[in-house]
Structure formats: structure tokens, C-alpha cells
A and B are shown apart, each in its own frame.
Chain A
Amino acid sequence: MTQHNNNTLVDVKYLSKLYPVGQGVFRRADTFVHAVSKLNLQIKRGESVGLVGESGCGKTTTGKLLTRLIEPTEGSIEMHTDEGLVDIAHLRGKEMKTFRRRVQMIFQDPYESMNPRLTVYDTVAEPLDVQGIGTIPEREANVTDLLETVGLTPASSFLFRYPHELSGGQRQRVAIARALIINPDFVVADEPTSMLDVSVRTGVMNLMQNLADRFGVTYLYITHDLAVARYMCDRIAVMYLGKIIEICATEELLHYPKHPYTKALISAVPVPDPTYTRESIKIKGGISKPINPEPRCRFFDRCPMATKVCESNDHPPLEDKGSEHYVACHLV
């Protein structure tokens, strides 16, 4: 899957994160959890890519790898910047700090992602403060503007409130403001609306889309909710046990899924229409941890279509099965 053009912003190659199991101070580990396994992904400038999957599939880990909250075990994450290609997987020190201006994150829990002892101003201005951008009056003006943009008006009344004085939706807007204040190129949003009330969720989702258009921000939207992904994303990547098993344009994925897991996943999503009859595809077993996985398709033990081919070969590579619809399956 190598198709570079000037439009690519982030190019992830063979990204892996392995966690050792049963390691002691004097014992080396031989068992590893393959949380993310040789992941390949290209994200174009300005697009919104959704990363969906169930718990344990590695989507949150991928998000943390892309923002360098954790270090990859192997692989590279290349970002196309004005200074050329930068591999952010192995940055250190001062370069890391500069990189932090380009990639930001929006967290799931609106309350826990804000320091309860800091005001809204402090929280939103923190990136500016740490990176040494602007004088204090300039920062205040910046923050005020951005608060208005995210819908917290009048900004002056929100500027010095504490997190516990805000509602869930308001807190998440503050989180969005904080992510955007230093004009990043790329924002990873980790389930930003799953802890919000339904009527508030829509507003925040709309806001994120408007801001994406306005500021030209590229999103990686991590979620377990396919319905939300449909509304927020141009392309969706489905993850299973540390690997992307399918990725293509949103509507294409939802109407013509090719991978058996994707099909099962889509068929299991409840539909808010009592007159709609849904036939869900049965797959056996439950999600397990990818510990020292066997060299075969990761979905083999649960797949309703599994055959000998799937067992005797290694996990299938992601391949274009026609019009940019990539699937990792031997049988497609």
C-alpha cells in the first residue's frame, strides 16, 4: 500500500507496540501482548479518518503512538512537514517539543482531561505557555477568540471558570479549544463524544467538523461507535487485535463491507428504528488478548468463513481489492 503524493500528511509504516508479560527485574519476558502489530496507514491532509473497533483492538494504543504518549516498539511514523519528512517515532528532546506543535489530542473524559485546579484560561493556554508562544495579553486574546469560536460565549464569562463549574459539553469544547490553539496539523480524537449526553453530542460533533473545514485540520477519530464514525469520517479503518483489517471510504464500508469481521460488526450495531429488522451475523467466541499470536490470520478462530488457507498462511496483508477498498483477508 504505497502511494505517496503531496497530499499525504501522516505515513505510518509497520508500526508495532509490544507489551511484555510477566517481566520482573531479573527476568526477561518472552511473552508479549501485540497491542499494535505492523500497522500501515496513510492519512491525507485535511481528511477525517475513523479508527473503529472493539475494546482491545489497539485503536487507543495507536492514537497514543501517533501522539507519542507512548513509544513504539518498532516501525515509523512519518509526517510531511514544511521541513520535509520527519519520523516522529524516534524523536527526542527539543525536536519532540517542536513536534508537539503539530499533533494534538482530544480525550474521552471531558472532566478528567482538565486539571481541576486550573481555570479554563490556564488549560487552553497551556500549550502556548509551554511552547513559549506570545505574550500574556496576546495569549488572552487568542484564548478568548478561540473560546468564542468553539461556542463558549461570552468568552469572558468562561475564561476564569473551573472545570467543575462547566457542563460536560462545555468541558469538551474547552478540550477542543486547547487542542486547536497552537494550530496543529493533525488532531487525534479519542472517543471525544462517548461520555456526553446525546443532545450535547451532536453539537460537539458538528463543531469538530466545522473547525476541521475552517482550520484545515486533519483528524484521526477513534471510536467504537460506527454510527458516529459515519458522521465524522471520510474514511474508516476497522481494527482487530492490533491490525487494520479493512479500510476504505465511509459509505463504501457501511454498505459494501468485505471482511467477515467488518460484516459481523456492522450487523451487530443496533438501529434506532423499531420497524427495521436486523439480521446479525453470528461469530463465535469473544475477543481475546493478542498474546504471542500464532502466524495465521488473527480472526481465524472466530471467522465463520475460515478455511485452511487462513490457518496455514500468515495474517493476510492489507491489499487493494478494487477502487481503494483495502481488505486483509485471504478469501476476498
Chain B
Amino acid sequence: MTSITASPETGYTPLWRVRLNLLKRGLKANWATFAENPIGLFGLGVIIFFGLFALAHPILMNTVWQPRIYDPVNGFDIEIAYHPSPPSARHLLGTDPLGRDVLSQLMFSTRYEFALGLISAIVTVVIATTIGAVSAYYGGIIDTLIMRFVDLVIMVPFLPILIVMSALMPVGMLELALVIGILSGFGGTAIVIKSQALTVKVKPFIEAARIAGGGDFHIIFKHMVPNLLPIALLYMMFVVTGAIFSEAVLSYFGLTEISMSWGLMINITQVFGYILRFDTWYLLIPASMSITLLCAAFYLVGRALDEVVNPRLRQR
């Protein structure tokens, strides 16, 4: 496999390459477990679909579609008399009340939904893992302070805070992602990670690390955090779901300063009074279906990841 000798001539494999190989092997094994669950595969399939969906938009804009007509924010189709117009050969999902192509809007928004989800999730995980690990490791007064702060954050009603925030400052995609990330990170996820960290803290290998001479930093970041990442990854999925959904709600109420998103599409529909009409289903259904599907997809992937994460932690 790998020969470990100090001299380069005799086939010395550097450590980083060995670690890379191990990582690849680990990913393959995890994938095999994940792939056994049809729910996870379905979720992943939907995510990939939307990913391609998002990627297709700039391609289409630069080839087949004329920007003047198909631009999701500023386009306007002069040739059609009355907007919104139902699906036709020119506009596969019709046009919205402002004359813009619905399909184009849908595809354009997808990238922002992903970005939003990803940024919130990463911010959440970084914050929650750090304070969860620190809280569990030190205990005592630090733990008490952190946990009481977390209690405060949980008590704060999520949407009203965002609404208030939108009154104070313009809320764009990035601001929204950061706020959602911070609120989630200091919220329930921290508690879950802390309780997992507590189970890790009492394991003998932590004592062994201390006996080797490891300081607090070494133990928290080299031992505890890597053992917390699987469960953090799991909760990341749920954060993405929450983030996409929250954005949809806020945009629906017109509280965001985002140029185009699925929530905004529904907002436009409502503002122009087309929301409860069957004949303009194409204004409401595609956007809401997309929100539902993408949220559900991340959730399902999270559920399937649960199986990958948990048995391994218990495996003997």
C-alpha cells in the first residue's frame, strides 16, 4: 500500500497524499451507505436537477434567449398583448404581470437560493460547532453564559426579528444569509452540537490526548470538532431548508431588497391580484413548487445522512 521509508528514492509516499487517499476511500464508503437510501438519492437528484437548472440560465441567456425579452428582471415581451400571459411556445411557463418570462425568473433565482442556503449553513455550522465544543469542554461559568445566551436567541422570534431588521436596513441576499446563519448558529443547533460534544468529552481518547500533553486548543480543534462535524453537516441540511423558506416568506411580504427570487415571484403575483386565480396558475405553482421541492430535497438528504453519520459513530 504505502511504503514508509525516509528516503525519497525508495517510493516514499508523502503524508498528505496518504491522507488524501484515505479521504477518498472514506468518501466512497460513506457514499455507498448513503446510496442505499432511496430517499437520500431522490433528494440528491432534485438538488442536482436544480443545480443544472441554475447553470442553464446563463447559457440560455447567451445563446437562445434575447436579453431584451428574457431578462428575468428587466425583460419585456412587446409582442404579446396582455401580461401575464399563459404558457406558449415563446414562453414555456408564460409571463408575469410585468411581462417577464416566468421560466427565466425561476432559473435565475435558483443560484441565489443555493447561495443563500450555503452561506447560512456554513455560518451556522462554524458558530454552532465552536460554541458547542467550547461550552461542553470548559463547562462551568463559560458553559452557563453561553447556554443562557443561546436560550435568549431561541426565545427571540425568528421572523419578526427579520421583519424588524428589514425596516432598519435594506435586506439583500447576503445580509439575509448572514443573519439567518447567526441566529441559527447561536440557536438550537448549538445545543444539539453541545450535547454531542459532551459525549465526546468524556471519551478516554480525550484523556489520552491530554496525557500526551495536548492543551485545550489541541483537544477542542483536533479531537472534538472532527467528531462533531458529521452531526454538524447533518444539521446544515436543515438550516438550508429553513433559510430558503425564510427568504421566501420575507420576499413574499416584500420585505427584502432582492432583485429576483422565488418568494418575490409569488409576491408579484399577489400584489397584482393574481394569486388565487386558476387561470394564472403558472404565476404561483412553479415558484411555490420549486421552494417546496428544494427545501424537501435538502431535508431528505439530511435524513439520509443521518444513517451515514450515526451508525459510524457507534460502530465497533
Q: Contact between B212 and A112 (Cβ–Cβ < 8 Å)? A: no
Q: Which residue of A lies closest to B5 (CB)?
A: A141
Q: Which residues of B contact A115 (CB under 8 A)?
A: 205, 209, 223, 226-227
Is B6 interfacial (CB 8 A cutoff)? yes
Q: Contact between B316 and A164 (Cβ–Cβ < 8 Å)? A: yes
Q: Contact between B227 and A156 (Cβ–Cβ < 8 Å)? A: no
Task: Report Cα–Cα, A136/B315, bound state, in Å.
Answer: 30
Q: Contact between B207 and A140 (Cβ–Cβ < 8 Å)? A: no
Is B3 interfacial (CB 8 A cutoff)? yes
Q: Contact between A69 and B6 (Cβ–Cβ < 8 Å)? A: no
Task: Report Cα–Cα, A140/B214, bound state, in Å.
Answer: 20
Q: Which residues of B contact A62 (CB under 8 A)?
A: none
Task: Report Cα–Cα, A178/B212, bound state, in Å.
Answer: 9
With most chain A CB atoms within 10 A of its CB, the pick from B6, B12, B213 is B213
Task: Report Cα–Cα, A22/B313, bound state, in Å.
Answer: 34
Is A272 interfacial (CB 8 A cutoff)? no
Q: Contact between B204 and A69 (Cβ–Cβ < 8 Å)? A: no
Interface residues on B, range: 20 to 34
Q: Contact between B2 and A159 (Cβ–Cβ < 8 Å)? A: yes
Task: Report Cα–Cα, A160/B316, bound state, in Å.
Answer: 17
Q: Which residues of B contact A123 (CB under 8 A)?
A: 205
Q: Contact between A160 and B1 (Cβ–Cβ < 8 Å)? A: yes
Q: Contact between A126 and B212 (Cβ–Cβ < 8 Å)? A: yes
Interface residues on A, range: 35 or more
Task: Report Cα–Cα, A294/B71, bound state, in Å.
Answer: 87
Classify the interface of chain B: helix, strand, loop or mixed: helix
Is A119 interfacial (CB 8 A cutoff)? yes
Q: Which residues of A contact B203 (CB under 8 A)?
A: 112-113
Interface residues of A in 102-140 (CB under 8 A from B): 103-105, 107-109, 111-117, 119, 123, 126-127, 130-131, 136-138, 140
Q: Contact between B213 and A107 (Cβ–Cβ < 8 Å)? A: no
Q: Which residues of B contact A130 (CB under 8 A)?
A: 209, 212-215, 218
Q: Contact between A111 and B316 (Cβ–Cβ < 8 Å)? A: yes
Count, A-B residue pairs, CB within 8 A: 88
Is A100 interfacial (CB 8 A cutoff)? yes
Is B152 interfacial (CB 8 A cutoff)? no
Nearest Cβ distance between residue B2 and chain A, in whole angstroms? 6
Q: Which residues of B contact A105 (CB under 8 A)?
A: 207-208, 211
Is A5 interfacial (CB 8 A cutoff)? no
Nearest Cβ distance between residue A276 and chain B, in whole angstroms? 36
Nearest Cβ distance between residue A67 and chain B, in whole angstroms? 6
Given known pairs A105-B211, A126-B212, A140-B15, the reply for A113 and B204 (CB within 8 Å) is: yes
Task: Report Cα–Cα, A319/B213, bound state, in Å.
Answer: 37
Interface residues of B in 4-61 (CB under 8 A from A): 4-6, 12, 15, 18, 22
Q: Contact between A117 and B227 (Cβ–Cβ < 8 Å)? A: yes
Task: Report Cα–Cα, A113/B223, bound state, in Å.
Answer: 12
Q: Which residues of B contact A160 (CB under 8 A)?
A: 1-2, 18, 22
Q: Which residues of B contact A116 (CB under 8 A)?
A: 227, 312-313, 315
Q: Which residues of A contact B315 (CB under 8 A)?
A: 116, 164
Task: Report Cα–Cα, A69/B15, bound state, in Å.
Answer: 31
Nearest Cβ distance between residue A129 and chain B, in whole angstroms? 8
Contact of A137 among B6, B18, B212, B213 (CB under 8 A): B6
Is B210 interfacial (CB 8 A cutoff)? yes
With most chain B CB atoms within 10 A of its CB, the pick from A103, A113, A141, A164 is A113
Q: Contact between A101 and B211 (Cβ–Cβ < 8 Å)? A: no
Q: Which residues of B contact A67 (CB under 8 A)?
A: 211
Task: Report Cα–Cα, A109/B18, bound state, in Å.
Answer: 28
Q: Which residues of B contact A2 (CB under 8 A)?
A: none
Nearest Cβ distance between residue B316 and chain A, in whole angstroms? 6
Contact of A119 among B22, B208, B212 (CB under 8 A): B22
With most chain B CB atoms within 10 A of its CB, the pick from A117, A119, A157 is A117
Q: Which residue of B lies closest to A70 (CB)?
A: B207
Q: Contact between A157 and B1 (Cβ–Cβ < 8 Å)? A: yes
Q: Which residues of B contact A175 (CB under 8 A)?
A: 208
Task: Report Cα–Cα, A127/B210, bound state, in Å.
Answer: 9
Q: Which residue of B lies closest to A138 (CB)?
A: B6
Q: Which residues of A contact B223 (CB under 8 A)?
A: 115
Task: Report Cα–Cα, A155/B213, bound state, in Å.
Answer: 25
Q: Which residues of A contact B215 (CB under 8 A)?
A: 97, 130
Q: Which residue of B lies closest to A103 (CB)?
A: B211
Task: Report Cα–Cα, A36/B30, bound state, in Å.
Answer: 46
Known contacts A144-B4, A160-B18; 19 additional CB pairs below 8 A are A69-B210, A69-B211, A97-B215, A100-B211, A104-B212, A109-B204, A111-B316, A112-B203, A112-B204, A113-B204, A113-B205, A115-B205, A117-B227, A119-B22, A123-B205, A127-B212, A130-B209, A156-B1, A178-B212
**Can you identify 13 A-B contacts, CB atoms within 8 angstroms?**
A69-B210, A97-B215, A105-B207, A112-B204, A113-B207, A114-B208, A116-B315, A117-B226, A136-B15, A140-B15, A156-B2, A160-B18, A178-B212
The 7 closest A-B pairs by CB, nearest first: A100-B213, A127-B212, A113-B204, A130-B213, A137-B6, A107-B204, A115-B205
